[in-house]
Copies of this chain bind each other. A is one copy, B any other.
Amino acid sequence: MQLAAHPHQPDYSPRQNDVLDSALRLLVDGGEKALTTASVARAANCSKESLYKWFGDRDGLLSAMIGFQASKVRTFDDTAETLTAATLQEHLVLFARDLLEVLAGDVSLALNRLAIGQASRDGSKLGSMLQERGRRQIGKRAGVLLEAGRDAGLLVFGDRDDAYDTLYGLIVSDLHLRMLLGEDSGRMVKDFGRRAEKAVSAFLRLYGSEKSSAQS
């Protein structure tokens, strides 16, 4: 397996990044239907010809949008300190809140809708791209946290991916899908804190060692 700090990202110019920003804005508040080449060109004050020169065709533009957005989401590593039962729980709750807020973000929802809409006809190219650049990244952060918890004797699990899968399910359940289907996300954002705490509490009951049973 290759390290691939920069797998082969095109790394667009500032001007092109502006265009991609405009396109994302357009997608967010208009859906895919509003994302026509003409409207992108108009919104970004560029010509359609330039769009086709830079991104090849419409699908290239969509791929570029996903790659661009993913490059903006930096998954900071918040490890590197000795974990106690309290700090582990704290970090997990923080992770859960961040995850929920990322999933509820306008751009994330719009891009997921876009990729799902295209899943039937592009061989899930956009879908796997979103999966790779989105969930894998944030999942790595969780994985590091989980293994640190295990190393500190606070968590007990065999397979790390299984544990993360459980954690993810407890945090998100079908909330992501409901938001993708159009349920008003603004109304549920204020419950994210409580939801995160409940999910982490349940997760610790499942995977916490007896050593970490000093929870509220």
Contacts and interface: CB of A to CB of B under 8 A. Distances in A.
B31 A130 contact: no
A168 B174 contact: yes
Contact of A173 (B117, B127, B169): B169
Given A128-B183, A166-B170, A117 B113 contact: yes
Contacts of A127: 181-183
Contacts of A128: 181-183
A33 interface: yes
Interface string A120-143: 110110011011000100000000
Contacts of A173: 165-166, 168-169, 172
Contacts of A94: none
Nearest to A27: B120
A108 B173 CA distance: 18
Q: How many copies does the complex hold?
A: 2
Given A128-B183, A170-B170, A173-B168, A120 B205 contact: no
Q: What is the interface of chain A mostly: helix, strand, loop, or mixed? A: helix
A133 to B, nearest CB: 12
Interface residues of A, number: 42
A4 B112 CA distance: 35
A189 interface: no
Contacts of A110: 120
Interface of A: 30-33, 110, 112-113, 115-117, 119-121, 123-124, 127-128, 130-131, 135, 162, 165-166, 168-174, 176-178, 180-183, 198-199, 202, 205-206
